[in-house]
Amino acid sequence: MHVAAIIAAGGRGARLGADRPKQFLDLGGRSIIEMSIAALAASDRINEIVVALPGDLLDAESRTLKRTFPCSLSFVGGGARRQDSVNNAFAKTSEDAEVIVIHDAARPFVTQDVIARTIAGAQSHGAAIAAVAARDTVKQAGDANPDGSRLIRATIPRDTVFLAQTPQAFRRDILARALGEGVGVDATDEAMLVERLGLPVHVVEGDPANIKITTAADLAAARATALQSSWRVRIGNGYDLHMLVAGRPLILAGVRIEYALGLSGHSDADIVCHAVTDAILGAAALGDIGRMFPDTDPQWKDADSIKLLRSAVAKVHEAGYRVSNVDVTVIAQQPKLLPYLDAMRGNLAAALAVETSAVSVKGKTNERMDSMGRGESMACHAVALLSTP
């Protein structure tokens, strides 16, 4: 089934009081209209998108948005009213489109679930809108008195009251008739035009977070939401274990430890760096140290693991993350690591590009149990927290 989406963005948003149309205002690095287009473009149910823009901004803004979105995206000039903008955009949709989805540009937080439910509702019933049930007691009031008060006329059962949102979706023939017969009729949404034809419009579950940005207070709340949602946090853990052997230096977090035995391995066998490397790669879903620096490759023979860690950090940065902090536990019966912990923290902090205060290194014994407790091996656990910058 071919589905076309219309984004109503032809208005000026004067109630917000901004110096430009509200749909072009920034929300944490992207404009409101960019976020709305991105939400619809991400839907696997939508085949094309037509955006109605203010006529005087059509050329400049459409060029910018076309560069941003590689999907099937076209633009038209908006009209004096919302329904005029929708009518202009509807005329540009493909005639193959069986269902038309209409969405307000000022609702940038619409989810894929709400989009899918609305489209499914239109498929089943011909017309469907996303809406949320009223949570408070609903009063119907009369006109305002001179002192600003109003007389309550009735209490309306709140289980029958729903607050309309977008998207709203319609079979093509229903929307065409509603728009055609609604010329000259003032309507706040397309569902009103369908209702006046006596045709049924069904409600599907909306989302309280699918807010419409109308006032300055709405904009402030939306910016706070956008900032929170853009700050992603990822957690990874790493582990490494090596045998202790004679004739090898003992290196932990790039620090040479005075001890009779060292860790056996292809590189310098620095279990702290290896565990931390695995933790940050795992948090960013970039694989593990074995895939990045395989021990079958002779170039990593006796390699400095601090340098390997720095390379892994660079990959994490390329993926859009920064290390927030790491917590490391080294398990060794001997030697005592307390004299070396500060140097180990400093080396790790430098490699991870964080403050030393963001790095914790602890030493634990294995209570003389297993190979670690017998002094035959050492192990390390690491946990890393990544975030977006």
Note the pLDDT tens digit of each residue in 124-169. Answer: 999 999 999 999 999 999 999 999 999 999 999 999 999 999 999 9
Average pLDDT over residues 197-207: 97
Of 179, 197, 230, which residue constitutes the final position of a domain? 230
If asked whether residues 50 and 194 sit together in one domain, one would say: yes
DSSP state of 125: H
Tell me the pLDDT band of 291, cut-offs 50, 70 and 90: confident
Note the pLDDT tens digit of each residue in 316-375. Answer: 998 888 999 999 999 999 999 999 999 999 999 999 999 999 999 999 998 888 888 888
If asked whether residues 377 and 303 sit together in one domain, one would say: yes
If asked whether residues 51 and 176 sit together in one domain, one would say: yes
Per the structure, the count of domains in the chain is 2
If asked whether residues 182 and 287 sit together in one domain, one would say: no
Of 230, 252, 278, which residue constitutes the final position of a domain? 230
If asked whether residues 356 and 243 sit together in one domain, one would say: yes
If asked whether residues 212 and 116 sit together in one domain, one would say: yes
* Nearest alpha carbon to residue 338 among 368, 367, 362: 362
Query: Residue holding tokens 């109503």?
Result: 8
Token pair in block for residue 387: 């975030």
Of 230, 260, 294, which residue constitutes the final position of a domain? 230
- Name the residue range of residue 253's domain: 233-387
If asked whether residues 221 and 250 sit together in one domain, one would say: no
Token pair in block for residue 7: 């984004």
If asked whether residues 318 and 288 sit together in one domain, one would say: yes
Contact at 8 Å (CB) between 374 and 368?
A: yes
If asked whether residues 346 and 251 sit together in one domain, one would say: yes
Query: Residue holding tokens 């066998």?
Result: 269
If asked whether residues 154 and 301 sit together in one domain, one would say: no
DSSP state of 301: T
DSSP state of 64: H
Buried b (16+ CB within 10 A) or exposed e, 210-241: bbbbeeeebbeebeebbeeeeeeebebebebb
CATH of the domain at 118: 3.90.550.10
| CB burial of residue 85 (10 Å; 0-12, 13-18, 19+) | buried
Residue 26 CA to residue 41 CA, distance in Å, equals 19
If asked whether residues 124 and 148 sit together in one domain, one would say: yes
Token pair in block for residue 132: 């949320």
253: alpha, beta or left? (left if phi > 0; alpha if psi -120 to 50): left
Q: Which pLDDT score, from 0 to 100, does residue 389 have?
A: 60
CATH of the domain at 310: 3.30.1330.50
